[in-house]
Structure 1
Amino acid sequence: MLKIDRLTKRRGSALILSDVSFEARRGRVTGFLGPNGAGKSSTLRILLGLDHPTSGTALVDGVRFAALRDPLAKVGAVLDGSGAHRSRTGRAHLNWVAAAGGIPRRRVDEVLELVELSGAARKRVGGYSLGMGRRLALAAALLGDPEALVLDEPINGLDPEGIRWIRTFLRERAAAGHTVLLSSHLMGELSETVDDVVIINRGRVVAQGTLAEITGARRNLEDAFFALTSGSGR
């Protein structure tokens, strides 16, 4: 389980996060939703030990990320692109990541198959489409067979086929008992993906609950999101 508890972050006089609390549980896809600049990426960076909070905690199974004994087996994350050099092949990039993490090379073939990228493994990353790059980044995150996936804006810029593929993959991952936490500012594409919803705006959580609880009598998640972030309430 991923637990964010009363997280506050200040940069100088700017309040980036204010008392943010929520959980992402096993076997469920949790959507962390909000407009650009709402505080989503800041929260995820703190969760992954890439930044420090002013106060509050962000824990993976009760432990800070930096204190995990085997972090790659606990959390796989994609925050900013694939991280692969354009001149490398997809397979070479994954081999490098696996070697750095002490992961057997045979796992590279397994994750390439999982993300349906085996046929492009020997192609240079510079020739990948946006969707292929997203799959390569996901493959790297899966190398440690992590219990949880943390993805920042995984569907941004994808075509409909790419969105369908990532939706199916994440649903299957959750059905297998894993934790999935994804952030996004795109509401319309997520109604068929998430089980639980956390909506953040201007650094504060304005609503959280199951998808049904958040949408309520409104027609869809996009309508609910607009009403909540525009200050009209639920």
Structure 2
Amino acid sequence: MIQFDRLTKRRGSATILSDVGFEARPGRVTGFLGPNGAGKSSTLRILLGLDRPTSGTALVDGVPFAGLRDPLRKVGAVLDGSGAHRSRTGRAHLNWVAAAGGIPRGRVDEVLAEVGLSAAAGKRVRGYSLGMGRRLALAAALLGDPEVLVLDEPVNGLDPEGIRWIRGFLRARAAAGRTVLLSSHLMGELSETVDDVVVIDRGRIVARGTLAEVVGGHRSLEDAFFALTTGAAR
């Protein structure tokens, strides 16, 4: 489980996050939604120990990320790109990540197959499409077979086939009892993927609940999102 409690982040006189609090639970896909610049990435960076909050906590199973004993086996995350050197092959990149995390090399072929990159494993990353790069980043996140998966804008740049694939993949992870937290500003795709929704706007949580609860009387998640983040009816 992921838990945020009264998370606040200030930079100088600017408040980036204000009293952010919500949970992402096992067996559920939680969509963390907001306009660009709303605070989604800042929240995830604090969760993953890449930034520090001014106050409040971000915990994985009751522990800060920095306190996890075996982080790659607890949390898999994709934030910005694949993180792979462009001159390496996809397999070489994953071998390096596995070695750094103490994960058996045999796991590399398993995750390559899982994300559909087996045929491109020997290709240099510079020749990967945007969608292939996202699959490689996901493969790296899966090396430890983590209980928690955190993805920032996972469908950006994917073609329709790739979007359908990642939707099914995330639903399967949740069905297996894993925790999935994903951020996005693309409402149409998420409405077919998520169980729970958290909406953030200008650093504050403006709605949270099941998909049905957040949509409420609106025609769609997109309409609910528009109303919540602009204060306008549609």
**Band of TM-score, shorter chain:** over 0.9
Quote the residue 1:231 is aligned against.
Answer: 231
Using the TM superposition, give the Cα deviation of residue 159 of structure 1 relative to its aligned residue in structure 2, in angstroms: 1.4
Using the TM superposition, give the Cα deviation of residue 232 of structure 1 relative to its aligned residue in structure 2, in angstroms: 4.0
1:36 is aligned with what amino acid? N
User: 2: distance between equivalents of 1:219 and 1:191?
Assistant: 12
Using the TM superposition, give the Cα deviation of residue 116 of structure 1 relative to its aligned residue in structure 2, in angstroms: 1.0
SS of residue in 2 equivalent to 1:23? strand
Quote the residue 2:57 is aligned against.
Answer: 57
Quote the residue 2:85 is aligned against.
Answer: 85
Using the TM superposition, give the Cα deviation of residue 53 of structure 1 relative to its aligned residue in structure 2, in angstroms: 0.3
In the superposition, the TM-score normalised over structure 2's length comes to 0.98
In the superposition, the TM-score normalised over structure 1's length comes to 0.98
User: 2: distance between equivalents of 1:223 and 1:186?
Assistant: 12
RMSD: 1.1
Quote the residue 1:219 is aligned against.
Answer: 219
Quote the residue 2:125 is aligned against.
Answer: 125
SS of residue in 2 equivalent to 1:161? helix
Using the TM superposition, give the Cα deviation of residue 80 of structure 1 relative to its aligned residue in structure 2, in angstroms: 0.5
- Ranges in structure 2 where 5+ consecutive residues have no aligned partner: none
Listed as ranges, the matches of 1:1-234 within 5 Å are 1-232=1-232
Can you list the C-alpha shifts for 1:19-61, whole angstroms capped at 9, x where unaligned?
0000000000000000000000000000000000000000000
**Percent of matched pairs sharing the same residue:** 85
1:203 is aligned with what amino acid? G
User: 2: distance between equivalents of 1:66 and 1:48?
Assistant: 8
User: 2: distance between equivalents of 1:199 and 1:119?
Assistant: 38
Matched residue count: 234
- Ranges in structure 1 where 5+ consecutive residues have no aligned partner: none
SS of residue in 2 equivalent to 1:19? strand
2:127 is aligned with what amino acid? G
SS of residue in 2 equivalent to 1:181? strand
2:111 is aligned with what amino acid? V
